Structure formats: C-alpha cells, structure tokens
C-alpha cells in the first residue's frame, strides 16, 4: 500500500520521466514487456498467441516476459521471446526487493508494458520502471488496490466474465495496432534435453512404440479443482483392463508420495514420472496417446501439443480457457451446478466448488475416453 500511495502522490514526476523516455521510442522496433499471471502455467500458455502476434507485427521488437521461476520453464524454448525476466521470491516478498525489481526492469528501457494478469503488481512494475505506454486488463469488480492504480495505465481493456481469455489477451494488443478476431493456437515447445530424457524414460520402462500410453495428472494449482485420488485409482485400473493402456502419472516431486498411495490402491504396476522439470515435461506429454487431468497447467500443455485429452473441469467456467479446438472432450458437472471459478475473478463458495467436482463420476470419464478414442480412429 505504501508503494501505491507513493505512486499516486508522485505521479506527476513519473509523467515527466515518461515523456523523456517517449522521445527515444522506435516505432518499428519497440521494446515490449508482457506481464502475465505470474504463477499459473495454464494462463501463461494461453498467452502464447500474444507472443506470436507481436512478433508477426513487429519482427524486430525486443519482446520480454516477466514471470516467476516456478513457471518460466514452460516458455524457455519459445522462439518468439527475446528475454525472460525472473521475479524472484526475495523481490516479490520484500519491500526493498521490489525496488530491485523495478530497477532491473527499468534498465531494459521498455516502451510498452502489457499487464495480462490484471494485477496491481503489474501496474506497480510498469509505473516504477517508467514504461511510457502501459496497457492493463481491468475488471468491474476489483479490489481496492486495483481501483487505486488502474488509472496509471493509459490503455484499459475491460474483462467480461465468460469471455474467452486467449481472445481477451489478444484484444489487449489493440493499442499496439494489432487486431485479431481469431483466437489462434497455443504453443509449447520441447527441448533437445527433454526429448532425450523422455526417450530414455520410455526405454527404461520398456514402453513400445505401438503401446497405448495414457498420461494422468492428479493435482491442480487449486485444490478445489482436483477430482480425487480414489477416483483416479479406479479410473486407471479400468483403463488398463479395458484398453491394455500403459499408465504414466506425471507431477512435481511433491506429488510423489501421493501418487505412490494411488498406485498401491489401484493394485497395478503403473509408472510414476515426477522428476521431469517444467521445461522437460512437454517432451514426455507429447508421447502420450491420451491425457486425463483436472483443469490445470498440464491440460494446457497437452492441448498445445495436440495430444488427445480429457479435461475434468469441475467448477471451472467452460467458456473461458478450456480447450475448444483439436482432439479433446470436456467432462462437466450436471447442468444445474453453475461455474464458480473464473480466470480473473475470486472463486466461489468452497462447498459448491467441491460439489461440482464430486458429481463427476469415474464412469463418465471412462465413457469420455471411449468416445474420444473412437473419434480419433475415424
């Protein structure tokens, strides 16, 4: 709040500094900073069409993205990016650490900032880094900190509930002269190191080239979206019995003990893959014939790679970010249960969120798998 008060009081000074910087603006080679959701993998992948569109319009621009180390790996190999600026915990959590961040960003001499996260942090970074042209996605029902800082941004793009988030992100490029009515495909790129590791993993477990491989992710960034370990244990047992599937559970190292418990409950010799970094994970997921998970970052990785997938969305709004092209099926709760989780709004009541997840049965997901497999064969 102190930084906000300083920003409000000293805004005329920032305006003078900005006017000086604007004189050095290079129209056909601007320096652009993207500020996406700092910790959400899925949101960052949904922003990848933005990177591509900017580079198509301004091929000589310097394009940078500000993210935390937690999710930076998923865009490390994106060829459209010139720079990834890391927001370290010590910068995010400490008062003077934020000033070090502002100084670091200011030293890049950006011409534009595009705050896709609709966050107060993005507004602070853009103002204190003295970025001349600032774009921000804003909300009608927003916290006080955003109300106090939104006016710092010359260009404000209004978010509407139920709006396709990738299209909203692309709409934020209008001030740069970039207009698109087409959502565009998300992009995730693999690395040579990740491909080698995935190949060695398949060899280690004797997974043949013609095997039917199903990837499973049991966790999600938000616990209230998770389907349930017992249901996954039942599901994988039936997939193995019905289709002879090779089941691979993916997740971070923190999921290891949890996956072990599921494997014991399932009573099958399934495979665990928890030592793939976020940069390496796409190389493994792209080898799957089917991927099943609650709505989460790995779902968006699979979607971007064209892997057939089943998205168990639970309380998530099906209109905003869920897959809408390619080989996919969305498994929803009954129609009378309305969405309570939106991309840029606080989640609804916890009880209603859990009810949405619990009403999705193992049989529904298994049936969806069968329909998706038939569709792919045709």
pLDDT tens digits for range 248-284: 999 999 999 999 999 888 877 899 999 999 999 999 9
pLDDT, position 349: 60
Mean pLDDT to the nearest integer, 337-361: 79
CATH number of 2-176, picked from 3.90.550.10, 1.10.10.10, 3.40.50.2000, 3.40.50.300: 3.40.50.2000
Spatial separation of the C-alpha atoms in residues 320 and 339, rounded to whole Å: 11
- DSSP per-residue letters across 291-348: EEEESSHHHHHHHHTT--EEEE-TTB-TTTSS--SSSEEEE---TTS---BBTTB---
3-class DSSP assignment, residue 67: strand
Instruction: Specify whether the CB–CB gap between 73 and 95 falls below 8 A.
Output: no
Query: What is the maximum alpha-carbon separation in the chain?
Result: 69
pLDDT at 70: 92
Calpha distance 315→337 (Å, rounded): 8
pLDDT at 376: 65
CATH 3.40.50.2000 residue ranges of the chain are 2-176, 192-377
Q: What is the pLDDT of residue 282?
A: 98
Tell me the pLDDT of the chain averaged across its residues: 89
pLDDT in tens, 48-99: 999 999 999 999 999 999 999 999 999 999 999 999 999 887 666 666 778 8
Q: Give the pLDDT mean for 113-137.
A: 92
Q: What is the pLDDT of residue 340?
A: 83
Express as a percent the part of the chain with pLDDT over 70: 92
Angle subtended at Cα 356 by Cα 355 and Cα 359, rounded to the nearest 5 degrees: 80
- Class of 192-377 per CATH? alpha beta
């Amino acid at each position: 709040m102190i930084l906000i008060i300083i920003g409000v009081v000293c805004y005329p000074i920032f305006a003078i500094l900005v006017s000086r910087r604007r004189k050095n603006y290079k129209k056909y080679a601007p320096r652009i900073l993207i500020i996406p959701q700092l910790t959400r993998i899925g949101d960052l992948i949904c922003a990848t069409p933005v990177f591509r569109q900017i580079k198509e319009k301004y091929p000589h621009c310097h394009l940078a993205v500000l993210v935390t180390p937690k999710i930076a790996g998923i865009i490390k190999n994106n060829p459209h990016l010139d720079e990834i600026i890391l927001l370290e915990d010590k910068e995010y959590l400490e008062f003077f650490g934020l000033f070090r961040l502002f100084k670091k960003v200011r030293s890049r001499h950006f011409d534009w900032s595009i705050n896709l996260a609709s966050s107060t942090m993005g507004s602070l970074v853009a103002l204190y880094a003295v970025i001349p042209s600032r774009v921000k996605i804003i909300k009608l029902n927003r916290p006080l900190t955003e109300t106090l800082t939104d006016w710092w941004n010359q260009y404000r793009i209004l978010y509407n509930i139920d709006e396709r988030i990738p299209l909203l992100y692309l709409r934020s490029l209008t001030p740069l002269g970039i207009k698109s009515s087409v959502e565009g495909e998300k992009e995730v790129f693999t690395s040579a190191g990740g491909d080698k590791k995935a190949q060695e993993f398949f060899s280690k477990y004797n997974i043949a080239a013609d095997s039917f491989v199903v990837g499973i992710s049991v966790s999600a960034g938000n616990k209230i979206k998770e389907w349930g370990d017992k249901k996954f244990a039942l599901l994988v047992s039936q997939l193995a019995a019905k289709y002879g599937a090779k089941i691979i559970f993916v997740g971070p190292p923190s999921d290891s003990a949890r996956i072990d418990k599921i494997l014991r409950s399932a009573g099958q010799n399934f495979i665990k893959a928890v030592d793939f970094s976020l940069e390496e994970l796409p190389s493994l997921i792209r080898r799957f014939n089917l991927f099943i998970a609650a709505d989460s970052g790995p779902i968006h990785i699979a979607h971007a790679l064209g892997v057939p997938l089943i998205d168990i969305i639970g309380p998530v709004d099906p209109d905003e970010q869920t897959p809408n092209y390619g080989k996919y099926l969305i498994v929803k709760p009954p129609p009378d249960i309305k969405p309570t989780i939106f991309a840029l709004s606080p989640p609804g009541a916890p009880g209603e969120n859990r009810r949405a997840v619990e009403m999705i049965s193992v049989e529904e997901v298994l049936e969806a798998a069968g329909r998706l497999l038939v569709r792919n064969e045709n």
